[in-house]
Amino acid sequence: MAKISIGADHAGYKLKEFIKNYLISKGHEVTDRGTNGEASVDYPDYAHPVADDIESGRSESGVLICGSANGISMAANKHQGIRAAICWLPEIAELARLHNNANIISLPARFISEETAKECVDRFFNTAFEGGRHANRVNKISCS
């Protein structure tokens, strides 16, 4: 199974706990980078450790969660080796992996049910990058 790093701000805390436990039940090794409650926090403080885990190889991929998934994705995508994709439907999660080789799935806690989040995570982690014509495009994403 995969090594996955997970993080969320206060708006995503409950969904993070649900997804973390779901991933563990599926046999994944999960590193929880916080937050650990619903007190207001700053999403970059959780996006950067998850992104660092992936860039360093400590984790293969990640899950990030905030209210809209926008802020936490923006912070993670500042890292050169990160491709965080906002997903709210299983089909989008599949395409994020299949066509964009995303290595972080970002979930909008305020706009997604636990069941749909679980379906998105399943689709994300069960889809391989297609490569081919998409590889050239993905290779152009990084600015370095």
- 57 within a domain of the structure (yes/no): yes
Instruction: Give pLDDT, residue 144.
Output: 65
CATH number at residue 27: 3.40.1400.10
Helix (H, G, I), strand (E, B) or coil at 76: helix
**Would you say residue 43 lies in a domain?**
yes
Residue 31 lies in a domain: yes
The residue among 131, 128, 122 whose CA lies nearest residue 103 is 128
* R_g over Cα of the chain: 14
Alpha helices in the chain (DSSP H): 13-25, 44-56, 70-76, 90-98, 114-125, 133-139
pLDDT of residue 142: 84
Say what the pLDDT of residue 129 is. 94
- Note the pLDDT of residue 135: 87
Question: What pLDDT, on a 0 to 100 scale, did the predictor assign at position 13?
Answer: 98
94 lies in a domain? yes
pLDDT for position 4: 98
Residues with active-site annotation: 66, 99
Task: Please tell me the pTM assigned to this model.
Answer: 0.96
In a domain, 144, yes or no: no
Boundaries of domain holding 21: 3-139
Q: How many folded domains does the chain comprise?
A: 1
State residue 26's pLDDT score: 97
Helix (H, G, I), strand (E, B) or coil at 126: coil
118 belongs to a structural domain: yes
Report pLDDT for 143. 80
Kindly report the CA angle at 52 between 46 and 54, in degrees rounded to 5?
Answer: 110
For the chain, which residues score pLDDT lower than 70? 144
For residue 92, is it within any domain? yes
